Chain A
Amino acid sequence: MKSNKVFERAVHGIFLILGLVTVACVLLITVYLVISGIPAILEIGLLDFLFGMIWDPAASNPQYGILPFILSSIYGTVGSLVIGVPVGFFTAVYLSKKASPKVKEWMGAAVSLLAGIPSVVYGLVGMMVLVPGIREVFHLPDGASLLAAMIVLAIMILPSIIKVSITALDAVPKEYEDASLALGATPEETWFRVSVPAAKSGIATAVVLGVGRAIGEAMAVMMVSGNVANMPKLFESVRFLTTAVSSGMGYADGLYREALFSIALVLFLFIMLINATLNFFLKGEKK
């Protein structure tokens, strides 16, 4: 009987350890990023690093300012939201409220496909269709630009926005809508003036998830944005925080390599900020 108890305790302990693996991973990643990211920031100086406008690690007098990357990432994300959120939002309302079950099923499958397409495929199609298209339409020497990145990111965040918004809109109590309809509001008025406000924290969650996905995307952006460390302009080639890390990792060494880790740390802090916002909205939803 006693050995049985010992056995049960041991099993409990094993499962506890398995449960703590995720926590350990988060700690490990955080510690590694901070430890490897801090030295270069100290050497370059925090202000020069974050607000320096020139990134030129190969020069004889190397400069490590990452403001162009930070701004490109922010502009790119905001741009993708401006394009993607309206499309995603109205599609979600349509699918949740108006579409017939059959349409909903088929378009749901289409959205899932959109979510599952690998980012390099988006990058490839962007390279072959979008970049030449932008070059032709705006008469530019090269179409690889911030605009191309914004459009690709807008398409990539579409599925998360649509799916999470649909979940929120589906969860709106039917009584709210019935009451509004009984008072004489048309279906459209009910959806946009009753259901949408009732689902607003869920829709906000969807947008924040989109922000997270857009700011963290590397490969697709790398393939369509031209990857030059310019200050962001709509029609010029830019480099994001993510692409700065991935394009330098292959060959960088010394302070250059350490600076890449610092960029990753900055990106990580951005993501943590987004996670905190996400939790804030999720908590609001639970209440």
Chain B
Amino acid sequence: MKKRNAYIWTMRCLMWLAAGVTTSLTLFLLTFVLIKGVPNITWELLSTKPSYLRGTVGILPDILNTLYIILTMLLFALPLGVGAAIYLTEYATNKRLVGMIEYAAETLSGIPSIIYGLFGSLFFCQFMDLDKSLLAGALTLVIMNLPTIMRTTQESLKTVPQSYREGAFGLGAGKWRVIRTVVLPNCVEGVITGCILSVGRIVGESAALLFTAGFAHALNGFFEGLFSSGSTLTVALYVYATEEGNFEVAFAIAAILMILTLLINLSATLIGKYFERKSKV
């Protein structure tokens, strides 16, 4: 009996200890970064570009570059990912082909971002002659995020009841019409979740962008920006922290990234809950 009690208490304590470590780590990271970073976020930092003449640092170009990359990547990845998911759930009949596509998607999601960076710099920057540009970076990220968008869309397509499709077919609709009017409107949830997850991944991505998008801080418009080199927030953080030793700016960016991560997670949860409630009604 004594031995049994000892076992129970050891396991209990280990569980509390582990859960405590995880929680306190998260809280520490959150508060440390916010306390060190938030005081350094000024309007000047957010609204200007770096100026060597005045010796000031601004991260407006990096914020814009991040937005440009997100937009471009979604522009390419959405049709590709949603299309692939539709093919897999609506058209594919050959099991081996489905298995192959799913295996490829799994492989893609396992490849580390540094290898994407290397591949991107070889293929998009050199072979396709885009040089180091936001477009090359965004295209690299398209490949990286394709599996995510594909998987979330696929999951939500699977929840569309078969009877909806059969009903539409029975009324004489062609396959494309069924997809356009019945299937697509019902997979909005998966598409949105996929977008949020990808945006989160892009906001946090650095290794894949370092060699494909470069690290210039020039202030550009959208189309100009696409074809010129530019750093996103994470890459800027890395450069400020390691190459320039400017930790105030680095922590300010870290705090911004932390807040963005919180917002992205929150919206993913809220959207999940919203659709869950909707599907119950």
Which residues of A are interface residues toward B (Cβ below 8 A)? 4, 7-8, 11-12, 14-16, 18-23, 25-26, 28-29, 32-33, 36, 86-91, 93-95, 98-99, 107, 109-114, 116-121, 123-125, 127-129, 155, 158, 162, 186, 188-189, 191-192, 212, 215-219, 222-223, 242, 245-246, 249-250, 260-261, 264, 267-268, 271-272, 274-275, 278-279
Contacts and interface: CB of A to CB of B under 8 A. Distances in A.
B26 A188 contact: no
Contacts of B22: 87-88, 91, 107, 110-111, 114, 158, 162
A219 B236 CA distance: 13
Interface in B184-215: 200, 203-207, 210-211
Contacts of A22: 84, 101, 104-105, 108, 146-147, 150
B57 to A, nearest CB: 16
30 contacts: A12-B175, A18-B79, A19-B88, A33-B119, A36-B122, A87-B22, A90-B14, A107-B22, A113-B262, A116-B204, A118-B203, A120-B204, A120-B206, A120-B234, A120-B235, A120-B254, A121-B254, A123-B241, A124-B33, A124-B241, A128-B36, A192-B11, A215-B112, A216-B112, A219-B207, A222-B242, A245-B114, A267-B114, A271-B111, A279-B106
A278 B103 CA distance: 11
Contact of A271 (B87, B100, B110): B110
B134 interface: no
Interface residues of B, number: 85
B121 to A, nearest CB: 7
Given A116-B261, A128-B247, A189-B7, A90 B15 contact: yes
A271 B112 contact: yes
Given A32-B122, A249-B118, A129 B32 contact: yes
A116 B119 contact: no
Contacts of B117: 246, 249
A16 B264 CA distance: 32
A101 B83 CA distance: 37
B261 A223 contact: no
A12 B250 CA distance: 49
B174 interface: yes
A223 B32 contact: no
Nearest to A30: B107
Find the residue from A117, A118, A186 having the highest chain B CB count within 10 A: A118
Interface string B131-160: 000000000000100110010000000000
A217 B205 CA distance: 11
A89 B18 contact: yes
Q: Give 9 closest A-B pairs by Cβ, nearest first.
A: A216-B112, A18-B83, A118-B204, A90-B18, A19-B87, A15-B87, A94-B15, A116-B261, A110-B26
Contacts of B8: 186, 188-189
Contacts, number: 244
Contacts of B18: 86-91, 94
B115 A113 contact: no
A164 B32 CA distance: 28
B23 interface: yes
Given A12-B175, A87-B18, A116 B264 contact: yes
A29 to B, nearest CB: 5
Nearest to B17: A90
A114 B115 CA distance: 23
Contacts of B265: 109, 112-113, 116
A36 B254 CA distance: 35
B87 A33 contact: no
A26 B146 CA distance: 11
Given A107-B19, A114-B29, A124-B250, A268 B115 contact: yes
Interface in B239-266: 241-242, 247, 250-251, 254, 257-258, 261-262, 264-265
A93 B123 contact: no
B11 A113 contact: no
Interface string B3-28: 01001100110111111011101110
A25 B143 contact: yes
A128 B25 CA distance: 15
Contacts of A25: 104, 108, 143, 146
B206 A32 contact: no
Given A12-B175, A264-B115, A271-B115, 8 more contacts: A12-B91, A22-B104, A112-B265, A118-B234, A158-B25, A271-B110, A271-B112, A275-B110
Nearest to A128: B247
